[in-house]
Structure 1
Amino acid sequence: MSPLNKTLITLAIIGTSSAVIASESHGYITESGIKITPLFDIKLERNDNVGRYSKAEQPITSNVLVIKPGIVLDSDRNGNQYKVAYQLISGTYSDSDDDDYLDHRFTTNNFVKINRRSGIRFNYSYLNLHEERGTGILAGDTLSTIAKEPVEYDLHNVNTTYIYGAEEAKGRLETTLKYQSKTYNNYRNIASPEFSTLSTKYKDYRDFGGAIAFYYDLRPATELLFDINLTDRRYKLGDPKTGQSQDNVDAYYLIGSKWNVTGKTTGMLRLGLQNKDYDYSGKKDFTGFSWDLNFNWKPLSYSAVYVSASQRAEDPQQGTNYIDKTRFDIAWQHYWMTHFYSRIGLNFIKEDYSESKRTDDLLESTLVFGYQLRDYAEIQAGWQYEDNSSSFESNTYTQNVWYLSTNFIF
């Protein structure tokens, strides 16, 4: 399976994603023209710190069996594109049954061409997922050590975009409407007075928003862009400590550039202002510089470098006021032989909590070796490492995960 004839099928969007690589030559085409591609991944992991405990606690070590069956339906009719994907993810821990999980991911991505100048893009995803112990709402020894199961939640996301502007036009306008809701399924009413304010019901929310973006061709390979993005977040309940509203409006005003140079260098850079305004005047608002970058470089047909980075204020999973979050990711994938490749990745995330003295610096590194046995199957051996340094000692931890996996595309 050459790297030149691969397509990336994204099974989940909005922050939490899982991707599988499918060859264009795979799948089964029905008489009606629908392409059906079954997928199956299996992975065996060895995790040396399942709960992400600090040095003050005895870590739990366990083997983990992860099974991911899935299916993709694809259709392209006269420029109208339709895609539906589903994946089930089962995780079974040999020495920590409390951490077993069963996730579901469903997405559909569609584009309808109205005429040569305009079209409509419609996307929807439903994610039934979990947060690993020691992350998210249950981060830190105090919570991770007493948790009896992973935090589980449902996430619905729908967005539709109207695009106006022919391919050869000098400018292109995109307007988007979007909706997202998140509902937690367990730990909703924690009885202990010490932890009752951490009940997940206080994190349920609905987002309503919209965006408008204008792209202008500076040259054949480069576009100038202007982007305004607004999101109105409404929590179902008030702040668990004060009872006051957690609702806020997030606004981005960005300018930047998007480029594609002969297929070897693609990317997008946006810079501008973010304004996060809380309804309750007692909460600290955020107004400041925000930016994001996505950059792909392919110096050779068999080698690629991927870079992404961003800075923005976000709602935290622990606490109720914003965190100032900076992220930098870089990865290099190289085919040493036709069927053998390696991938090295490094991620750095810095989180500064506005309502406390807490800061977290998370360093993630990955090393993967892959070999394509057949056009429809490959094996991988990998290592993942996390090192979280926090001003709260109970949130400081290291974790190593070694794994072997096999991926099939039928």
Structure 2
Amino acid sequence: MCIKWVTGRAFRGYGKVKRLTTSITILASLQTLTVGSAFAYEQSPIQFAGFNVVPKVTLTESYTDNLLQDADNEINTWLTHLKPEVLLDKQYGLDRYSLSYGLSHKNYSAKGRDTITDHKFGAGATFDLGTRHRIATYAKYALLHEERGRDFSIGYGDQLKEPTPYDTLNASLKYTFGARTAQANLDFFTSYYDIEYDSVYFDELNIDEDDNIPPPDENFDVTADRNHDKIKFGSTLRYKLGAFTDVSVTLAFANTAYETNRMFEPSLDNDEFSVSSRFAWQGTAMTTGYVDLGYSEKSFDADERDNGDGIRWKVGVIWKPLTYSNFDFSTARDVTEPEGQGSYIENTNVNLSWHHNWLERLGTRLKASYSEDEYGDTDREDDNNIYSASVLYEMRRNLNFTLSLSNYERDSNYNNLDYTENRASLSVSYHL
């Protein structure tokens, strides 16, 4: 056992850390590809103080055979996940306002210390300032937990006594010039992102004397080097080719600043430049989708770190050969901030799913996902696979049941980071 993960390039070289984010649902959301469930439903909001209020609650009972997603320390457990959400939306003339709140409570039967409760708050507004001027703004604040064996502690979850709390703040502002009916529109945007972890000190870890790991200091904060913020700004030119097709070109710049350096490592502070072009179509020959192709370059303030650059892409296509059946395909290549090891993570992923309604209220969904993570400035590579099969039943318009079986695998050239997890879950979702 070692604590390589806590500081990245720490006491014995490199450690393992990368979030497994290759599920099709997450990737589709990230790439702004709308992939519907087997059933579409109409909302019936409540009226309150001029707002449309849409509440929703989902309860999921799951069984997993590898709680920590660990190569050796496999723990079987039941998980109860309660997720209530509420969205408030109001139209005032041409302006629109929204508020949202979501709670996520996870209770594990095997390890009570892994029980967590997360909160997410959101607020947004769009303002129509005239025929050719519009402003959209949004802010989101979240109180979250990093579960053991995920993200920075992948492969070393047993060294943590409990999940690690952290909070994030996202804020964005966009100004659009051009009439809604105009063939061309020009956007100027800026955003701010900040992530802050609660302190976890060395003497709070599950480190045995037999590990022969020299402690840096009992008051050493192993999470301080994760905290950072990111400021981004840029512009997008959008042009309509027709009623259902459009193209756009985006230029963006970003600056990322870390609160402190990893132990014995140079700064991770960096600037990033990106340029991309996008072609999107809707309802053409039974398909809807987009192709986003571009280039990005990440330049570090520290000369000791290698800069990361290359071709980036995001592609998403929905093919609907029948009114009750559709295939969803997506692929992407992008660069993200590191999670404890290396200078950055270059992720390439491919995802495929099939949705089919066998009866008016009964459908199935099959998913397969593959991703490859390359860690800049290291020799580490991870291959990740996710397979899942689901049965969906719409008992009523606003009451849905989902039964799912999933398999997760990671194959790394760091053998202690390999793992396999099987999960079965039954969820019920209710909305107005």
Q: Given the two structures, how large is their TM-score scaled by the length of structure 2?
A: 0.84
Aligned to 1:202: 225
Aligned to 2:299: 277
Structure 1 residues 33 and 66, CA gap change in structure 2 (3 angstroms): same
**How far did residue 263 of structure 1 move?**
9.7
Aligned to 2:408: 386
Pair 1:217-2:234 in alignment: no
For residues 82 and 262 of structure 1, what CA distance do their matches in structure 2 show? 32
**How far did residue 350 of structure 1 move?**
0.5
1:120 to 127, 132, 135: 135
**How far did residue 313 of structure 1 move?**
2.3
Deviations 1:2-51 (A, max 9, x none): xxxxxxxx9xx879xxx998944422113x43111221111110010001
For residues 261 and 211 of structure 1, what CA distance do their matches in structure 2 show? 30
For residues 200 and 68 of structure 1, what CA distance do their matches in structure 2 show? 28
Pair 1:306-2:324 in alignment: no
Q: Quick one: which amino acid aligns to residue 265 of structure 1?
A: T
Pair 1:43-2:60 in alignment: yes
Pair 1:240-2:273 in alignment: no
Pair 1:398-2:416 in alignment: no
For residues 284 and 165 of structure 2, what CA distance do their matches in structure 1 show? 44
Structure 2 unpaired stretches of 5+: 1-25, 208-212
Structure 1 residues 118 and 301, CA gap change in structure 2 (3 angstroms): farther
Give the superposed CA RMSD: 2.4
Q: Quick one: which amino acid aligns to residue 97 of structure 1?
A: G
Structure 1 residues 195 and 209, CA gap change in structure 2 (3 angstroms): farther
For residues 375 and 115 of structure 1, what CA distance do their matches in structure 2 show? 39
Secondary structure, counterpart of 1:212 in structure 2: strand
Structure 1 residues 47 and 326, CA gap change in structure 2 (3 angstroms): same
Q: Quick one: which amino acid aligns to residue 235 of structure 2?
A: I
**How far did residue 177 of structure 1 move?**
0.8
Pair 1:345-2:372 in alignment: no
Q: Given the two structures, how large is their TM-score scaled by the length of structure 1?
A: 0.89
**How far did residue 223 of structure 1 move?**
1.5
Aligned to 1:52: 69
Q: Quick one: which amino acid aligns to residue 277 of structure 1?
A: S
Structure 1 residues 190 and 176, CA gap change in structure 2 (3 angstroms): farther
Aligned to 2:312: 290
For residues 81 and 93 of structure 2, what CA distance do their matches in structure 1 show? 39
**How far did residue 378 of structure 1 move?**
1.0
Q: Contact between 1:331 and 1:344, CA under 8 Å: does it hold in 2? A: yes
For residues 215 and 113 of structure 2, what CA distance do their matches in structure 1 show? 20
**How far did residue 83 of structure 1 move?**
2.0
Deviations 1:269-289 (A, max 9, x none): 121211000001111101211
Structure 1 residues 299 and 186, CA gap change in structure 2 (3 angstroms): farther
**How far did residue 133 of structure 1 move?**
2.2
**How far did residue 111 of structure 1 move?**
1.9
Aligned length: 390
For residues 51 and 188 of structure 2, what CA distance do their matches in structure 1 show? 29
For residues 198 and 353 of structure 1, what CA distance do their matches in structure 2 show? 24
Q: Contact between 1:131 and 1:150, CA under 8 Å: does it hold in 2? A: yes
For residues 171 and 413 of structure 2, what CA distance do their matches in structure 1 show? 37
Structure 1 residues 225 and 25, CA gap change in structure 2 (3 angstroms): closer
Deviations 1:344-399 (A, max 9, x none): 11221111112222110010122111111111211111112101001111100000
Structure 1 residues 79 and 23, CA gap change in structure 2 (3 angstroms): farther
Identity %: 23
Q: Contact between 2:298 and 2:308, CA under 8 Å: does it hold in 1? A: yes
Structure 1 residues 27 and 259, CA gap change in structure 2 (3 angstroms): same
Structure 1 residues 58 and 206, CA gap change in structure 2 (3 angstroms): closer
Q: Quick one: which amino acid aligns to residue 43 of structure 1?
A: T
Structure 1 residues 325 and 147, CA gap change in structure 2 (3 angstroms): same
**How far did residue 306 of structure 1 move?**
2.5
For residues 197 and 344 of structure 2, what CA distance do their matches in structure 1 show? 20
For residues 163 and 239 of structure 1, what CA distance do their matches in structure 2 show? 40
2:282 to 260, 280, 283: 260
Structure 1 residues 25 and 144, CA gap change in structure 2 (3 angstroms): closer
Moved more, 392-401 or 34-43: 34-43
**How far did residue 216 of structure 1 move?**
1.6
1:75 to 90, 95, 104: 90
Structure 1 unpaired stretches of 5+: 1-9
Deviations 1:100-124 (A, max 9, x none): 1111122223322222323111111
Q: Which has the higher contact order (CA 8 A, sep 6+)?
A: 2
For residues 170 and 201 of structure 2, what CA distance do their matches in structure 1 show? 22
Q: Quick one: which amino acid aligns to residue 175 of structure 1?
A: F
Q: Relative to total residues, which structure has the larger strand share, 1 or 2?
A: 1
For residues 118 and 264 of structure 1, what CA distance do their matches in structure 2 show? 34
**How far did residue 320 of structure 1 move?**
4.2
Deviations 1:272-326 (A, max 9, x none): 2110000011111012111112323333333333222211222211214112211
For residues 279 and 262 of structure 1, what CA distance do their matches in structure 2 show? 46
Structure 1 residues 195 and 255, CA gap change in structure 2 (3 angstroms): farther
For residues 406 and 380 of structure 1, what CA distance do their matches in structure 2 show? 6
Secondary structure, counterpart of 1:394 in structure 2: helix
**How far did residue 82 of structure 1 move?**
2.0
Aligned to 1:369: 391
Structure 1 residues 320 and 187, CA gap change in structure 2 (3 angstroms): farther
2:346 to 314, 321, 324: 324
Q: Quick one: which amino acid aligns to residue 323 of structure 2?
A: S
Pair 1:135-2:150 in alignment: yes
For residues 109 and 146 of structure 2, what CA distance do their matches in structure 1 show? 19
Deviations 1:121-160 (A, max 9, x none): 11111122222322210011xx222221122211100001
